[in-house]
Structure 1
């Protein structure tokens, strides 16, 4: 793996950590469904975890079609990451306890709630857009419009994970 590949992977993980929340997109029959989820990142495992509820339909959707998309967005700073990966549902109570945080307490009373499941996403590839920020981007776009050139509004890369 080249230094550029490693640097791009590092940037993907850094952006996901900074943003923290993702829209999880699953396939529900012929339709795509998206919902916001709080991400728990495990770079050393090449894994993105979520806590989910067995009473909802994500488990069934993932069992039928484990290919998912995670979309992380911070519009205020113009930073975005899209991950394609493979999902699996687990009832690993130890990992659930490890990941159970204040955010999770908004949905469940304790880590021992029998409805909590662990959603594991193994990233296959990613694409990120990393802009210097809204004001700088708008200035560059305005200058490009006046000069008839394309604006340089940051980095955009596809990354094998």
Structure 2
């Protein structure tokens, strides 16, 4: 696997591609405790600043943890496409109606009583450290290349991995 670090605009594009393409992540909160707390979450969007957005219940355990410790880890995994990403960052909870309306969709009615549900919150994750693994060609091509490498003894390019560095001249910005 070759190493390819991406910066600024290219990094934001890759972050959006992976986070929105994989969609579900394991959100880890309460990082200083043993055990920490994990919950599966669906990514609503990656905004133009490179922040990742989720909807959440204000009474959830992860919201409770984020109220006392804003550090967060996200683990994205799509084994069928051989795409993976970890994101460490800072999370902020908001009840701003404009934000909630922007990210709320009909499928969210499964979890909430509409956009006016008093328990509806949004979580904004500001990434600080991002690392990704991407085969570029998917699982089947990667398996074929592994087989070719095993037969020929020649190293195959199975994809790329690297850090995503998002230029944030305005960090920390309003949340």
TM-score band by shorter chain is 0.7 to 0.9
Q: Secondary structure at the match of 1:46?
A: coil
Contact 2:39 2:62 in 1 (8 A): no
Select which of 71, 78, 81 maps to 1:77: 81
Partners of 1:116 and 1:4 lie apart in 2 by: 34
Does the Cα contact within 8 Å between 1:8 and 1:157 map onto a contact in 2? no
Q: TM (normalized to structure 2)?
A: 0.81
Q: How big is the alpha-carbon RMSD for the aligned residues of Structure 1 and Structure 2? A: 2.1
Residue 105 of structure 1 corresponds to which residue in structure 2? 109
Of the candidates 50, 72, 79, which is equivalent to residue 68 of structure 1? 72
- Structure 2 CA distance, aligned partners of 1:95 and 1:6? 23
SS of the residue 1:31 aligns to:
coil
Instruction: Out of 87-96 and 28-37, give the one that drifted further.
Output: 28-37
Post-superposition offset of 1:43: 2.6
Within 2, Cα distance between the matches of 1:105 and 1:30? 33
The reply to whether residue 47 of structure 1 matches residue 51 of structure 2 is yes
Report the CA distance shift for 1:111/1:3 in structure 2 as closer, same or farther (over 3 A).
closer
Structure 1 residue runs of 5 or longer lacking an equivalent are none
Matched-pair contact (CA < 8 Å) for 2:44–2:53: yes
Give the superposition deviation at 1:42.
Answer: 3.7
Q: 1:3 to 1:71 in 2, by over 3 A?
A: closer
How far apart are residue 67 of structure 1 and its match? 1.2
Q: Which structure carries more relative contact order (alpha carbon 8 Å, separation 6+)?
A: 2
**Counterpart check, 1:20 vs 2:23:** yes
Q: Give the direction of change, closer, same or farther, for the CA distance of 1:140–1:70 in structure 2 (3 Å limit).
A: same
**Which stretches of structure 1, 4 residues or longer, exceed 4 Å deviation after superposition?**
2-5
Match of 1:34 in 2: 38
Alignment check: 8 A CA contact 2:146 2:156 kept: yes
Which TM-score applies when normalising by structure 1?
0.87
